[in-house]
Amino acid sequence: MQKEVLLCRFKVITLRLVILIILQNGSAYAQEPQIILCPHNEINAGIMTPLPQDWWYTPQLARLSGAQIRQVGGKPVLACLYQVYGKEIAIMRRLPEAGMSCQVRASHFSFICKPEKALPDAGELQGKICMASIQDKIAWDYEGRKHWQQNNLEKICKNAIYSLQPGICFNRIMHGNVSHGGGTRWRWPQALRLCASTQNANSTLACFTQAIEQKKPWPDAIELCRVEQ
Q: Is 133 exposed, middle or buried (0-12, 13-18, 19+ CB in 10 A)?
A: buried
Handedness of CA 210, 158, 21, 146 (dihedral sign): positive
* Secondary structure class of 17 (helix, strand, coil): helix
Question: Residue 123, by phi and psi: left (phi above 0), alpha (psi -120 to 50) or beta?
Answer: left
Q: Could you give the CA distance from residue 58 to residue 47 in angstroms, rounded to a whole number?
A: 9
Q: Could you give the CA distance from residue 3 to residue 120 in angstroms, rounded to a whole number?
A: 26
Q: What is the pLDDT along the chain (229 residues), one digit of tens a residue?
A: 455 544 445 444 444 555 554 444 444 344 567 888 898 888 888 777 888 988 888 878 888 988 999 999 888 999 999 998 888 889 999 998 777 889 898 667 889 888 776 554 444 555 578 888 999 999 999 999 999 999 999 999 988 755 689 999 999 999 999 999 999 999 999 999 999 999 889 999 999 999 999 999 999 999 999 876 5
The greatest distance separating any two alpha carbons of the chain, rounded to the nearest whole angstrom, comes to: 94
| 22 contacts 163 by C-beta, under 8 angstroms | yes
pTM of the model: 0.62
